[in-house]
């Protein structure tokens, strides 16, 4: 599974990228707004830090507007992925960009039917929002399972399932076991993956025993 980080905080991105585990970054207007910085400056800096796909979301709601914005965004860097909403206009824009070799992330997916449309439009990534479905009493992870199963029926579908709106480490491990291609993860949740009380306890014992020997490695 590929790990994308869902943030526009360049400090967080640099720190996580240093682990070698980041395969890409997803941003949206809300995350850019939180950074308090210029939209294009933030994206340029992120693209320079992480060589993988960097999702930059359009704000227009009509296909011509999305295409005009997207054409401007792709000039930022070769690894920019145009992010469009799962609407008819968004699907038109998706088809335009993928036909020209530009990566597209179709976002705000909440049903398998929508995911089918995105794959038909040639989306590079489909972003189902598991946490938001859980919030309204539906099973977000069931949607991931349904989309992965559906895509596997057709070799000509190249769209990757990018699990979004992740709220906890269980979302990530469940998605990985289902065969989802990518998870886009908030930095705080990504850091939780390494945590386990038995790891901390074991390390504490090892260090205590080592200290008793009075030895040093360096």
| pLDDT for res 135 | 97
Measured distance CA(139)–CA(134) in Å, rounded: 6
Average pLDDT, the chain: 96
Question: At a CB cut-off of 8 Å and minimum separation 6, what does 32 contact?
Answer: 8, 39, 42
What pLDDT is attached to residue 36? Answer: 87
For 138-169, how does the pLDDT look when each residue is reduced to its tens digit (9 = 90+)? Answer: 999 999 999 999 999 999 999 999 999 999 99
Q: What is the pLDDT of residue 34?
A: 86
Handedness of CA 127, 128, 134, 136 (dihedral sign): positive
Q: Give me the pLDDT at residue 1, please.
A: 97
What pLDDT was estimated at residue 30?
87
**Domain parsing of the chain, residue ranges:** 2-213
Catalytic residue of the set 83, 201, 212, 216: 83
> Is 83 annotated as catalytic?
yes
Determine the Cα–Cα distance for residues 23 and 20; give it in Å rounded to an integer: 8
Domain spanning 2-213: CATH 3.20.20.70: yes
């Amino acid at each position: 599974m590929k790990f994308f980080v869902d943030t526009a905080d360049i400090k967080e991105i640099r720190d996580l990228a240093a682990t070698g585990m980041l395969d890409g970054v997803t941003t949206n207007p809300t995350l850019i707004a939180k950074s308090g910085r210029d939209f294009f400056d933030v994206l340029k800096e992120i693209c320079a830090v992480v060589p993988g796909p960097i999702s930059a979301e359009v704000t227009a709601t009509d296909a011509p507007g999305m295409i005009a914005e997207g054409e401007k965004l792709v000039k930022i860097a070769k690894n920019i992925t145009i992010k469009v909403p799962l609407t008819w206009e968004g699907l038109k824009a998706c088809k335009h960009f993928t036909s020209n070799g530009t990566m597209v992330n179709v976002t705000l997916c909440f049903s398998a039917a929508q995911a089918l449309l995105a794959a038909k439009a040639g989306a590079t990534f489909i972003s189902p929002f598991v946490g938001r479905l859980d919030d309204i009493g539906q099973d977000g992870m069931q949607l991931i399972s349904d989309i992965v199963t559906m895509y596997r029926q057709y070799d000509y579908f190249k769209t990757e399932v990018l699990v979004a709106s992740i709220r906890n480490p269980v979302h990530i491990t469940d998605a990985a076991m289902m065969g989802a291609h990518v998870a886009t993860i908030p930095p705080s949740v990504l850091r939780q993956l390494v945590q386990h009380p038995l790891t901390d306890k074991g390390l504490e014992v090892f260090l205590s025993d080592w200290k008793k020997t009075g030895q040093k490695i360096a």
